[in-house]
Amino acid sequence: MENYQLEKRIEDLNRQLQTTIQDLEELQHALSHDLRAPLRAVIGFSSILKEEYSGQLDDEARRLIETIVTNSKKANHFIEELVSFSRLGRKHLLLQQVPMQKLAWQCIHELLTEQEQEVFDIVIGDLPDCYGDAVMLKEVWVQLLKNAIRYSSKKEQPSIEVNFTVADGLSVYVVKDKGAGFDMEYSHKLFHIFQRLHSNDEFEGTGTGLAIVKRIILKHGGSVWAEAVPNKGSSFYFTVPLQEQ
Amino acid sequence: MNIEKQTIDTISLTINMQTYNEVEIVLVEDNPNDAELTIRALKKINLANNLIHLKDGAEALDFIFARGIYSQRNVENIPKVILLDIKMPKVDGIEVLRQIKGNDLTKRIPVVIMTSSKEQKDIFNSYNLGVNSYVVKPVDFESFAKAVSELGLYWVLLNQKTI
């Protein structure tokens, strides 16, 4: 191709990209604005019905209203997660030295009460600082630890181990649990939004946590993967730059 | 056009100029369901007596600046709070806010934005224009009712009105 043809091609692609980004932004706005208003009406008026007419309703009618409210709340939760996920893609990284060990402990304290912490066997090894966006990396810890806690909830002796290793020249942070694990055959679905390897009856969740983790790690130029054995536990690994590059 | 005229007439019939001057809460909301839920929550704590519900930004500007069908209203009688939605037909909430805060007569009226979305641009623009508070309407009913009644109690009863 001639130079001017190439330039024109790049210009065309750029314009297409701009249109796509604009479409996405509009879609996100519609999602968070236009879809939430009708949901608020559904939840609001069902709740009023339940509150003000409960004397005239029998148990079955009340159960039906409860089902409407629960499902509308679920739909709203999905919208919120989807919107914050798509917002993440457009955020710029605020790079600085990040104390990973402190951050991991902070998340543990926020996610578990003191009594709950006693039930868990929690080990956080020596984690070196890294170089990244502290707010986003905290979200990574929150999501990974939340998962470790959630999928350990049915075990008698739940444990969480957070550690750091160097393998094949890569600096790797790892979160290990001895919880429900998963079948490695489906591991390719793990990091996709709204994909789950457990049903909601088994473990609550919307399937956004790991998608958020992957998005953040990729934005840092790192990688993330997992290993697991059903009923024995899972390990989640990620890499991020340790120093300014 | 006819329908609009009719709603305005009904409002004029039910509230006369005397009561326009006693309005404490101005609710600017185009979605009738959201308006009903808001008014209901305020009624529960007895704060809906001196409330006027305006259905879009253009009507809000007419009321606030005592123009059009509200021309008899005394512009110096300022409400205790304006609850303002952003996304509305004709004139949107941001524009209403811009005009209120850009005018010496009205800039001291507390304005609370109540909207469905956490759009960064809207939050930034609102504070830039001098909004007094920015609240994202919860979808969950209990949280919504709680948010509205807390807002009502704060701005109508607790906050010291401007002179």
Please tell me what DSSP assigns to residue B68: G
- Chain A interface includes B34 (CB < 8 A): yes
Lowest mean pLDDT among A14-23, A221-230, B122-131: A14-23
Taking only the tens place, the pLDDT of each residue in B72-126 is 888 888 899 999 999 888 899 999 999 999 999 999 999 999 998 778 889 999 9
Residue A183 — pLDDT band, cuts 50, 70, 90? confident
With both helix axes pointing from N to C terminus, report the angle between B93-101 and B57-64 in degrees, rounded to the nearest 10. Answer: 20
Chain Cα centroid distance, residue A73: 18
Query: Chain A: nearest CA to B116, how far in angstroms?
Result: 5
Nearest CA in chain A to B31: A37
- pLDDT at residue A79 above 90? no
Chain B contact set for A29 (CB, 8 A):
117, 119
User: How many residue pairs from chains A and B have C-beta atoms closer than 8 A?
Assistant: 53
Taking only the tens place, the pLDDT of each residue in A112-165 is 888 888 888 889 999 999 999 999 999 999 999 999 998 888 888 899 999 999
Q: E strands, chain A, where?
A: 95-98, 121-124, 130-133, 159-167, 170-177, 224-229, 233-238
Query: Chain B: nearest CA to A179, how far in angstroms?
Result: 32
Answer whether A76 sits within 8 Å of B117, measured CB to CB.
no
Taking only the tens place, the pLDDT of each residue in B58-83 is 999 999 999 999 988 888 888 999 99
The whole-angstrom separation of Cα A3 and Cα A242 is 40
Interface predicted TM-score (ipTM): 0.75
Distances (CA, A) of A123 to A152, A157, A159, A176, B132: 15, 14, 8, 10, 46
Rounded average pLDDT over A91-103? 92
Strand partners, A124: A162
Enter the pTM of the model: 0.69
Q: Given this model, what pLDDT does residue A146 score?
A: 92
